[in-house]
Amino acid sequence: MPRIDIHTHILPGLDDGPLTLDQSIPMAHTAAQDGTTTIVATPHSRDMEIEQSPPEKVNEVADLLNNSLRNDSTEENIPGIKILTGTCNHLTTSLPELIESGKANTLNRTRFLLVEPPFGRLPNYMEDVLGRLLTQHLVPVLAHPERNIEFQRKPKRLQQLVEEGTVVQIASGSLTGQFGDEAKKTAEQFILHGMAHVVASEMHANKPPRSPILSDSFSVVAKLIGEKSSIDLFETNPKMLLEGRLP
């Protein structure tokens, strides 16, 4: 089963990812050549809000990129890859209302919602907001908690969220050491203790620290838990999310 990348910043001109389509296309090619067949484009909702870009803009830009990639794969014998959509939604008290009003996108129009916590102190409203999303029959997918200083120090806080229904996404760059020893160690511990469900590239450019490459982090995880279990984090579980099913 091919790899699926559910957290990326590949769409041009919407956030701090690539500026132009000419920068986005090589990122998709790199991912395809590395074994990824599906990318979910998840621009930062906050950046789009500042620029007053409507949520449907994500789908419009994704269509442009998909069309370009289809032409390239036909003309240049490049492996095929498709772009689906979502948004990377910052953890704020207004997030449940943004979803209700259609101002934020879930992953591939499912009930799964990518939520990004801060890297420093966790807000005291975090559990309340995630709980409210769950009562709305949405499932938070918490992005890169291993990079947060409080989750690093208090992993039981994340364990509680997982037990209540939150899905955890680890950044591939954390596993390869791009974000320091503490993030790498914490990511490995979350995986070893069964607290992680998905690994994603979080690509912003065609180079490290947030590149499209997933194979390097797959090798790290395979050494930790074996190749069969690693496939769940990179292929099986992401596929289930995009089909609306809980891993």
Q: For 173-186, what is each residue's pLDDT tens digit?
A: 999 999 999 999 99
| pTM score over 0.85 | yes
pLDDT tens digits, one per residue of 192-247? 999 999 999 999 999 999 999 999 999 999 999 999 999 999 999 999 999 999 99
Which residues on adjacent β-strands are paired with residue 169?
Answer: 143, 198
Q: How far apart are CA 144 and CA 1, in angstroms?
A: 24
Cβ-proximal residues to 194 (8 Å cutoff; 6+ apart), any chain: none
Nearest to 181 by CA among 152, 160, 156: 152
pLDDT, position 74: 62
Domain ranges in the chain are 3-242
Tokens of 145: 């908690």
Q: Which residues of the chain have pLDDT under 70?
A: 1, 50-51, 73-77
CATH 3.30.420.40 fits 3-242, yes or no: no
